[in-house]
Amino acid sequence: MTWLTLGRLRNIALTDLYTELGLKHAPAAILSDKDVTIVDTEPGWCPASIKVVEEAGGVWLPNEDPQRILGVSSKDHATALAQAVTRGTGEKADPQMLFDHVGNAIEARMRKGLVLMPGAGEVLSAFETAGLPQALVTASPKSLVQALVDGLGDHPLSTYVSGDDEIPGQPDPAPYLLGAERLGVDINDCLVFEDSDTGLAAARAAGATVHSVTERPLAELLVHLSE
């Protein structure tokens, strides 16, 4: 699906939406997480990680390991994979090699087709029509972000921050601070859409106005877009 298939929203008034989000005026920019916010690739990460770990002779702990890989930096995800393999083999594993195998599986899945989260296209297109710059902030590696960008086609994203950027990962505020810097705006004037606990913590620590799409999905905000 490309962004254009959704159609551009024209002559949209965003005042009601800004008020609903707790803003007194238009933000300087929009920063959005990738998974569960714009698209949903998260369901693929656990199965791919389990497959890679078990094929390497590792042991996956279903009550612990999922929390160690979702919403974290690429480095932390890779470390969790290596520890799961060592748990089963007793031998040191290569974190980056394991993560690359998982990343390749996710990239192949993404290139087969992307499904936007309900409301994501409409809401972000409305911000684009209003002339607000937008950036993607994610812990996913650059290769997966590029696959996403390629899959979306004509989209409103001006830049992105990925897990390959050499900065501390979430919940550190560094990713969101870098996103605002790349857009040339003050993070305190930005609106962030996030879903994970680590991402929400990072965005709030950075100083942005934050909206949790887990508590209130983007689709529920469409009623506040008026012609």
Residue type for position 96: Q
Q: Tell me the CA distances in angstroms from 59 to 95, 162, 180, 184, one per residue in order.
A: 15, 28, 40, 45
26 close to 19: Cβ distance less than 8 angstroms: no
In tens digits, what is the pLDDT along the chain, a chain of 227 residues? 445 444 444 456 788 999 999 999 999 999 999 887 988 877 788 999 999 999 999 999 999 999 899 878 788 999 999 999 999 999 999 999 999 999 999 888 887 777 789 999 889 989 998 999 999 999 888 888 888 888 777 788 999 999 889 999 889 999 999 999 999 999 999 999 999 899 999 999 999 999 999 999 999 999 988 65
